[in-house]
Amino acid sequence: MKHKVLGKLVGNTGEASQLTMVVQDSFSVRRGEFVRVMHQERGDEGVVAVLGRVTRIQRSNMLFNAGFGEGVTELELLPGAHVTGENLAASIELIGYRDPISRQIKIPRRPLDPGAAVETVDFQFLSDFYEFNEHTSLHIGNLVGYERGENTVPVFLDVNKLVTEHMAVLAMTGSGKSYTVGRIIERLVALHNGTVVVFDPHGEYGKALAKGQLNFNERGDGDRDKRDEQALPRIRETFERLQKAGAGIHVYTPQNESFKYKYADKNIQLALQFDHFEMDDIAEILPGLSEPQQRVLDVAIRYWRTADKAEPRDINRLRHLLGDGIEELRGWDDLSEAESKALSGRSAAVASMKLSRVLNEAQSFYSATMAMPTDIYKMIGRPSNKQGRLVVVDLQGLSDTAKQVICALLSSEILRAASSKNDPLRPCFLVYEEGHNFAPAGGNAVSHRVIKKIAGEGRKFGVGFGIVSQRPSKLDADVTSQCNTLITMRLKNPDDQRFISKASDMVSKADLEELPSLSTGEALICGRSIPAPLLVKVGGKALIHGGESPEVLRVWGSFDE
């Protein structure tokens, strides 16, 4: 293809983040489109094509000047007269060039030539520039402006870097963030045979297994490219095969009868073993205990583990030791003098009351009335288990504290098992929906500590996470700063935009200015899993999407007398 000249560079070309070109006419280029400039970096090197993106266009006309005021409305042109004096200029942000030897994308260190021609690029140039290994990458969607027809430019994310180096998906309500996460999840499981665990506060992801059967998106998602036409049926078929093999989608829920109805008794009830958790975990889920109360609880748990040798241990036994069974504790010969003095009935009663409140709210702990406790290895799998699985932890209807307790304890046990030298877990990817409730700024959440720990240490043990939020400014900045893939969709709140610019050095000023005008399903993606920041139209899903707003007019119907 012959590359059409759109205009020429003018002014200072030393700032790669903001170049200016004079545009030939108003139809030449649109905001967000890609352009290229030929450039020679060194005297002894050849010419390379430097890719850029149009971030802003200015158009003015001397006749229709705002300074003329109301007089502009009276302006009439003679028949056949041409409007002259029009000024067209565009701002360009450089993405870089492919080094012919290293194949890395580099920003020119020598300023581009003033007066250099700015040219169009075709889909083949972009596809070659954003080279990828399709076998180790995930097709997230297509480049905005090149998302349909013969000129489609696919955008891929490196799966290894996406999963192990953490991800953040940030957007306002209704912009398509959960849909985007859903596309990523189903492809990780069905096409890359991965293990994904979703902490689902509103029961959206669980709708894929509503009534106990797989539910697929039969309606379609508008324009699909050739890749989706091939991949979506394959994803569906793979989920059906995985499900028959005992893997696929598993939904874990609290011990509440309503979940049995929702999933036609195909859900798995959570039965967490309280005695498996460390005192740091327990201190997190029972905040506000005084020192004597903590000491009583510590003694009771130690005695419970010592006296009841056989596992699994019934949580009601611990409740008994903090109540009517406190005399049994006092008779234990392994107590220190300080512990003996601390075993007051009042302290034990307060600790028992707080413990009971958490247990009753969460409804997720093992007792003797249940057949089996939750097995983290059965949930996630071992490296030898070659079956992909999507684990949905449905937390719909629980209090915020109960959601955080379940999230904290499951995340902690997953990280602990993954770091085992003798029996490690299968590598897995944890997804925290409504992440500002699980890892808020200020740390006022039971689950905050363990998510920060996974952010810092999880990569070493094959545990990655994705955090999803509609209010980025309410997220913990230390957690988001560890996310090396950032997917940002429509955001209009200035506080959220400022937070993103502070939390990540991957987003430029021009990128931030783009966020309020993104359409539903469009995303700015940047980070280590992608060669350079790109605007992407996210593709379709195979599984049903549960995050859509209800069609209220259809539900309301019309009044019948």
**Cα 537 to Cα 180: distance, rounded to the nearest angstrom:** 10
pTM (whole model) above 0.85: yes
Specify whether the CB–CB gap between 363 and 255 falls below 8 A.
Answer: yes
Specify whether the CB–CB gap between 395 and 403 falls below 8 A.
Answer: yes
Q: Calculate helix-pair angle for 345-362, 291-307, nearest 10 degrees.
A: 70
Find the length of the chain.
561
pLDDT at 451: 95
Instruction: Look at strands 248-253 and 19-23 and give their pairing.
Output: unpaired
pLDDT at 220: 59
Which residue ranges of the chain lie beneath pLDDT 50? none
State the DSSP H helix or E strand holding residue 167, giving kind and residue range, or none if neither. Answer: strand 167-170
Token pair belonging to 212: 């106990």
pLDDT at 73: 57
Domains with residue ranges and CATH for the chain: 5-121 (no CATH), 134-270+375-554 (3.40.50.300), 274-362 (no CATH)
**Cα 21 to Cα 330: distance, rounded to the nearest angstrom:** 83
pLDDT at 426: 95
pLDDT at 149: 75
Q: What DSSP designation does 427 have?
A: P
pLDDT at 133: 83
Encode pLDDT of 67-85 as tens digits. 555 555 555 555 555 555 6
Residue found under tokens 């937070």: 499
**Cα 301 to Cα 318: distance, rounded to the nearest angstrom:** 7
CB atoms within 10 A of CB 480: 24
The partner residues of 252 in beta bridges, in order of sequence, read: 268, 393
**Cα 347 to Cα 326: distance, rounded to the nearest angstrom:** 11
Which three-class secondary structure string do you get for 70-111?
HHHHHCCCCCCCCCCCEEEEEEEEEEEEECCCCCCEECCCCC
Specify whether the CB–CB gap between 479 and 504 falls below 8 A.
Answer: no
Token pair belonging to 391: 């684990």
Specify whether the CB–CB gap between 154 and 142 falls below 8 A.
Answer: yes
